[in-house]
């Protein structure tokens, strides 16, 4: 089968995978469920925010001209005619020689054009002494200074972060239209693989991949559908894949069964039931990745080794999920780092090395987290990033600069 499917470079494989996905159709959700998702509608402001001109300080609403020349030794003296709390309005006007006591957020009363904060005043019965003159507009927030009625505030395609949630709430949008979340079916394969809660038996290993992959699906905004474990035979795998398709999936993930071993049935089933687009990518870990379609559903056949399954997911399933969510920035963020360990690479694949990262004097330092075997999940557990070693590099001395794809951002949430 190898001759039929030439090994692809990472970029070419990614391009072919991404071409199979489109942003999913919109659904209407409560505003909090829009977090991390992408708007499919333009949102315009149907009112000004703030809706009324109001005070930014607790103090006295005044006519600025009445405070002209006021100072510590020459206070202006105004009669307090009203007390206005936030949340209320008044028709009482500030006329020359008067002031209205006012609390932050309360609308500026008619006649007033500035606010003197409490700290610059002293109260004496119905009088207030003002120790500092204020210009027109001081401590006043103008109606519409944040958002103007009719303005396009959030264009379609905007990703909803907490600040967008706050803006949507301020504008009174209880529900919004966003791309729906992709449903991702996850099926493990292998006669040796047993469920998370099965008692251990000789020759068996627990199903790590379905869980790490499901966690990745969740992290990137998809809905995982756990389909269990298929045995290494064509009939069982075919039946489980068919059952999974019935549940409605936008992406099908399998793990294992895609290398050159005798029991590598995923490739056979994919070829028999659907079509295989490519197999094998010039990368390590993750080489025996298969991609194809089953009844119109794209299927990524991830390798079985636990680190390979995760790394192949990061590189191919993650951007596919983000694209279905309507996102356009699909690359994983990278940083430049100094690699503290020297390394050798014996082949012409792109290597992704598990590293921990520490920032020292503004420079990231990357250190290998241990054995880089594709079955060594612990070095993935200890890693914050994957150092990318280009195909043409055969060795790097300690201290060389590398790009590191961040798995997460410590200290940054």
- Name the residues that contact ligand AMP, by CB under 6 A: 188, 190, 192-193, 205, 207-210, 255-259, 261, 303-306, 375
Helix (H, G, I), strand (E, B) or coil at 135: coil
Give the span between the Cα atoms of 58 and 132, in whole angstroms.
Answer: 15
Rg of the chain taking only CA atoms, in angstroms: 31
Prior bond to 50 cis, omega within 30?
yes
Q: Choose from Mg ion, ligand AMP, none: what does 193 bind? Cβ within 5-8 Å by kind.
A: ligand AMP
User: E-assigned strands of 38-75?
Assistant: 43-44, 54-55, 59-62
In the complex, minimum distance from the CB of residue 259 to Mg ion, in angstroms, rounded to a whole number = 7
Cβ-proximal residue to ligand AMP, closest one: 304
Give the span between the Cα atoms of 266 and 270, in whole angstroms.
Answer: 6
Q: Choose from ligand AMP, Mg ion, none: what does 208 bind? Cβ within 5-8 Å by kind.
A: ligand AMP
Q: Choose from Mg ion, ligand AMP, none: what does 192 bind? Cβ within 5-8 Å by kind.
A: ligand AMP
Q: Choose from ligand AMP, Mg ion, none: what does 158 bind? Cβ within 5-8 Å by kind.
A: none
In the complex, minimum distance from the CB of residue 205 to ligand AMP, in angstroms, rounded to a whole number = 5
Q: DSSP code of 181? A: P
Q: Which is nearer to ligand AMP, 66 or 264 (CB)?
A: 264
Q: Which is nearer to Mg ion, 182 or 301 (CB)?
A: 301
What tokens were used for 159? 């990703």
In the complex, minimum distance from the CB of residue 274 to Mg ion, in angstroms, rounded to a whole number = 20
Q: Which is nearer to ligand AMP, 121 or 210 (CB)?
A: 210
In the complex, minimum distance from the CB of residue 374 to ligand AMP, in angstroms, rounded to a whole number = 8
Which of 158, 147, 126 has its CA nearest to residue 60?
A: 126
Residues that bind Mg ion (CB under 5 A): 190, 256-257, 304
Give the span between the Cα atoms of 65 and 8, in whole angstroms.
Answer: 76
Give the span between the Cα atoms of 347 and 331, in whole angstroms.
Answer: 25
Q: DSSP code of 118? A: G
Q: Choose from ligand AMP, Mg ion, none: what does 162 bind? Cβ within 5-8 Å by kind.
A: none
Q: Choose from Mg ion, ligand AMP, none: what does 207 bind? Cβ within 5-8 Å by kind.
A: ligand AMP
Displacement of CA 44 from its chain's centroid (Å): 24
In the complex, minimum distance from the CB of residue 384 to ligand AMP, in angstroms, rounded to a whole number = 22
């Amino acid at each position: 089968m190898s001759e039929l499917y030439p090994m692809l470079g990472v970029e070419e494989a990614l391009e072919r995978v991404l071409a199979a996905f489109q942003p999913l159709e919109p659904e209407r959700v409560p505003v909090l469920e829009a977090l991390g998702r992408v708007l499919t509608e333009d949102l315009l402001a149907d009112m000004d925010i703030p809706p009324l001109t109001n005070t930014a300080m607790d103090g006295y609403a005044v006519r600025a001209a009445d405070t002209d020349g006021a100072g510590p030794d020459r206070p202006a003296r105004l009669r307090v005619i009203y007390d206005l709390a936030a949340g209320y309005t008044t028709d009482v006007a500030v006329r020359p020689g008067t002031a209205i006591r006012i609390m932050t957020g309360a609308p500026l009363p008619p006649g007033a054009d500035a606010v003197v904060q409490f700290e610059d005043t002293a109260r004496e019965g119905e009088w207030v002494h003002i120790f500092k003159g204020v210009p027109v507009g001081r401590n006043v927030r103008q109606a519409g200074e944040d958002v103007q009625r009719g303005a396009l505030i959030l264009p379609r395609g905007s990703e909803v972060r907490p600040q967008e949630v706050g803006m949507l709430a301020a504008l009174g949008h209880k529900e919004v239209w966003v791309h729906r979340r992709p449903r991702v079916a996850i099926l493990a394969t292998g006669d040796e693989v047993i469920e998370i809660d099965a008692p251990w038996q000789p020759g068996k290993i627990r199903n790590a991949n379905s869980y790490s992959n499901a966690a990745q699906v969740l992290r990137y905004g998809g809905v995982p559908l756990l389909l269990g474990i298929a045995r290494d035979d064509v009939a069982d795998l075919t039946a489980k894949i068919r059952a999974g398709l019935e549940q409605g999936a936008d992406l099908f993930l399998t793990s294992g069964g895609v290398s050159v071993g005798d029991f590598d049935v995923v490739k056979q089933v994919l070829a028999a039931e659907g079509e295989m687009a490519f197999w094998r990518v010039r990368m390590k870990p993750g080489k025996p990745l298969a991609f194809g379609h089953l009844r119109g559903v794209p299927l990524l056949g991830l390798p079985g080794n636990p680190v390979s399954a995760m790394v192949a997911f990061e590189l191919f399933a993650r951007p596919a999920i983000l694209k279905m969510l309507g996102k356009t920035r699909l690359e994983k963020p990278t940083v430049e780092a100094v690699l503290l360990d020297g390394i050798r690479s014996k082949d012409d694949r792109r290597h992704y090395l598990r590293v921990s990262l520490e920032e020292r004097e503004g420079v990231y330092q990357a250190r290998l987290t241990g054995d880089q075997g594709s079955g060594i999940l612990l070095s993935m557990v200890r890693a914050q990033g994957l150092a990318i070693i280009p195909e043409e590099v055969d060795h790097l001395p300690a201290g060389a600069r590398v790009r590191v794809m961040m798995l997460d951002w410590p200290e940054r949430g």
